[in-house]
A and B are shown apart, each in its own frame.
Chain A
């Protein structure tokens, strides 16, 4: 049973607009949720995280929102840039990471 779900396999957004990537989870016993970004032929790289005791964390153009009652996590990228085009994975962390299946974001000019 998938503990972390990303139901949208792909998303296409125009440059300058907001990108919203979503993630649902089942396990409430986690310490952190994270977003990783992956370019082709590279390993995933850490993007932003949020503690289980918070509901929002912001870092520049990236903001992560955590809705514990809905068991839902989202990543907002604003404004979106062509260099943001990549696969984005959400992941929950205890002592290890459990990843979702990923969402491919394409930002077009």
Chain B
């Protein structure tokens, strides 16, 4: 399978715990994006990388959220001191640089976070 892979697919945690999600993009894609989707809403942009550089972060990404892409390959999204409002589907997408402005992103199946 050469698509975007996300792990874990589902995480249930207690309020105050830290969680980490991993995304493995399509291998030749330079850009990697993180989005969050809640029920009844469209995906909301969180951050994106070009290779290992984090080029933009949304105001939605509070200090409790951190994303890394250390070697320009896989990426991790960590949420510290989780709150119930963090419950959502976290989507990762990748694209080659050439399609970054055309918007043709390839999404993974998402990691669903439930905070109790």
Interface residues of A (CB under 8 A from B): 4, 6, 9, 31-32, 34, 41-46, 49, 89, 91-102
Closest-by-CB residue of B relative to A34 is B103
Whole-angstrom CA separation of A46 from B41 in the bound complex: 18
**Are A101's CB and B43's CB within 8 A?**
no
Tell me how far the C-beta of B105 lies from the nearest C-beta in chain A, rounded to whole angstroms. 6
Asked if B26 is an interface residue, CB under 8 A from chain A, the answer is no
Interchain Cβ contacts under 8 Å between A and B, 11 examples: A32-B102, A34-B103, A42-B109, A43-B110, A49-B103, A91-B103, A98-B45, A99-B42, A100-B42, A101-B40, A102-B42
A31 touching B40 in the complex, CB below 8 Å, given contacts A41-B109, A43-B91, A96-B45: no
Report the minimal beta-carbon distance from B93 to chain A, rounded to whole angstroms.
Answer: 7
Q: Across the interface, which residues of A come within 8 angstroms of B107, CB to CB? A: 43-45
Chain B residues whose CB sits within 8 angstroms of the CB of A100 once the complex forms: 42
Assess the A101–B56 pair: CB atoms within 8 A. Answer: no
Classify the interface of chain B: helix, strand, loop or mixed. Answer: loop
Is A96 touching B48 in the complex (CB atoms < 8 A)?
yes
Q: 10 tightest CB-CB pairs across the interface, nearest first?
A: A93-B103, A43-B107, A99-B42, A34-B103, A31-B101, A99-B43, A44-B107, A101-B42, A89-B42, A96-B45
Give Cα A95 to B102, complex, Å: 8
* B100 close to chain A: CB less than 8 A: yes
Residues of B within 8 A of A (CB): 4, 33, 35, 40-45, 48, 55-56, 91, 93, 100-110
Whether the pair B41, A32 counts as a contact (CB closer than 8 A) is no
| Cross-chain contact A46 with B42 (CB below 8 angstroms) | no
Closest to A4 in B: B42
**Nearest CB on A from B54, distance (A):** 13
| A6 to B41 Cα, complex, angstroms | 10
Question: Residues of A contacting B105 with CB < 8 Å?
Answer: 46, 97
- Name the distance in Å between A66's Cβ and chain B's nearest Cβ: 14
Residue of A whose beta carbon sits closest to that of B89? A43
